[in-house]
Chains A and B, each alone.
Chain A
Amino acid sequence: MSTSPIVETSILSIDRPFRLESGEILSEVNIAYETYGELNKTKDNAILIEHALSGNAHAAFCHKGETKPGWWDVMIGPGKAFDTEKYFIICANVISGCNGTTGPSSINPATGEPYALTFPPVTIRDMVEVQRLLLSHFGIERLKSVVGGSMGGMQTMQIFCDYPSLFDSFICIASAMRHSAQQIAFNEVGRRAIMADPRWNGGNFYGEIPPEGGLSVARMIGHITYISEKMMQEKFGRLRKGKDSKAVFRPSFEVEHYLDYQGIAFVRRFDANSYLYITTAIDNFDLVSSISGSTRLRGENRARGRGFDTLRKKKGLVISFTSDWLYPSQQSHDIVRFFSGLNVRVSYAEIATDHGHDAFLTDYEQLSLIVSSFLDSPNELSRL
């Protein structure tokens, strides 16, 4: 992938107070983002990409001096599903993240110290509100689409429902309108692993050795849920490696080494407190209750008790994967049902794969076929 063009992450600094859904206020917010392709003169060819739990703004292309491209490079680029010759692609790191956008590891300007757990709790809606600041920065008032997988799908649905007139369409991949008890349970085990690590120290570990043990266990649990049982069996089975080790409980199975590797690779690039904040935002997400009722503080139709007339006839695409047991297809069926009820013209595709939840990152060939035919199709057939 050394042919990928070069990109760098930019930072947009917002120097005015940002009010979170909780009511708490951040005196300033930095937004890390990358863009690919060119914004056209009419500023209507933009597509907003929403990243998942462990993602970041680096969705495609390569950073200077690196050979590993961004996390969705297979989907974004010239001639790819999100064609940078046609579209202006934007991806921003979420608030409470740890890759440039303000989060618990950022310095609190009031104290000169990292926020740690004084960072206010965030919601999926806070994440997309921050992205709106970025869209305003570019002067974009209308986007071709918004797309995301997993937690990115949650942001996609939230911003599409809150600001329907911003978008022509949405694409929601392997996601859910709310977490099930099982999904919350897996996240909670991950959080507990971090908090049980003495190095976590109530979140105050900056400048010290971070809670690597806890965070890597959290990541290992995650990775078990991201792939299917079948794939894990085919990839590792009962294969062993490193038999020469003398320690009693050294990892000996291949699968143990794999998880170990994933855990270690993760602690190098991710902040344990960000993991707590983001997984909590995911667990608290509930699309239906967030967009209904008179308590809404954000969004176009806020607190007016109005319906979602602006959603009418807009297009949506929902995609799930047959072997995804973390975000099973039924949750995507529920999404289709919900948006159909709001008169959005929703399409649904279920991709046959053994790759589990991770398929949204790996099964790009099938995904590209579906996504590009959706994006390139006419909006209003009757006007042909």
Chain B
Amino acid sequence: MPTIREKTQNIIEDWIAPQSRVLDLGCGDGTLLSRLTQRKQVDGIGVEISRDMIVKCLGKGISVYQADIDHGLSQWDELSFDYVILTATLQVIHRPYHVINEMLRVGRCAVISVSNFGYAANRLGIMLKGRMTDEMRLTGDWHDTPVIRFVCLCEFIRSLSEMGVDILDARFFLPFDLAVRTKIPLDNLIVKEAIFMLGHNR
């Protein structure tokens, strides 16, 4: 069974038009970008803060820019990209509003995945353990986890409308390997993770 990460990547691959210009924020070792380059012939560049990950990207022939996403996008002009992707890193970003606005400045569309803090298993975990679970922290202990933003689905969607950002497409991942395209009742409880294609009415 594919993991949510793999499913997310499949969806992104479906969404992204061939030969488009793609910026992947927090691109890690460049897995997604090399896949998009090979299968969709995109013109891609990654942004990454870790030196070791930079080395891995370069080794794959992926263009990569070493920067902290929180201050990193001023490098690019308006609409330099068709898509700006942010997957699995939203929770570690200090200034999410700034970053989302920047993504939609330098890109026509933003692709963002959100791990729903309100998901039932998280609620249960906190109730039983009395603390953040290891899954929520990704890595580290309470004092050194990179995860500093615990956002739930309903708050994220509310923020998008506050920012005047339109949801162009979305997938909501449910338990038992289910995924739906539209908002459903009790989504803040039963959606584990969601991925959005966002844009501006320009």
Contacts and interface: CB of A to CB of B under 8 A. Distances in A.
A130 interface: no
A373 B34 contact: no
Contacts of B58: 317, 347, 349, 370, 373-374, 377
A209 B59 CA distance: 52
Interface size class of B (residues with CB under 8 A): 20 to 34
B54 interface: yes
B182 interface: no
A381 B34 contact: yes
B38 A384 contact: yes
Interface residues of A, number: 28
Interface string A361-384: 000001001100110111111101
Contact of B63 (A337, A345, A370): A345
Contacts of B45: 340, 345, 347
A315 to B, nearest CB: 8
Given A346-B63, A347-B64, A382 B55 contact: no
A288 interface: no
B32 to A, nearest CB: 13
Contacts, number: 68
B interface secondary structure, majority: mixed
A265 interface: no
B55 A381 contact: no
A347 B55 contact: no
Contact of A381 (B54, B61, B65, B75): B61
A interface secondary structure, majority: mixed
A382 B38 contact: yes
A352 interface: yes
Q: Which of B45, B57, B60, B66 has the most CB of A within 10 A?
A: B66
B59 A347 contact: no
Contacts of B59: 373, 376-377
A144 interface: no
Contact of A333 (B62, B63, B75, B80): B75
B63 A377 contact: no
A368 to B, nearest CB: 10
Contacts of B63: 315, 345-347
A373 B55 contact: yes
B129 interface: no
Contacts of B80: 340
Interface of A: 315, 317, 333, 336-337, 340-341, 345-352, 366, 369-370, 373-374, 376-382, 384
What are the 9 closest A-B residue pairs judged by CB atoms, nearest first? Answer: A373-B59, A377-B61, A373-B58, A378-B61, A345-B63, A381-B61, A381-B37, A374-B58, A348-B65
25 contacts: A315-B63, A336-B65, A340-B45, A340-B80, A341-B77, A345-B43, A346-B63, A347-B45, A349-B51, A349-B54, A349-B58, A351-B51, A352-B51, A366-B51, A369-B51, A370-B51, A370-B54, A370-B55, A373-B58, A376-B59, A377-B58, A377-B59, A381-B60, A381-B62, A382-B38
Interface of B: 34, 37-38, 41, 43, 45, 51, 54-67, 75-77, 80
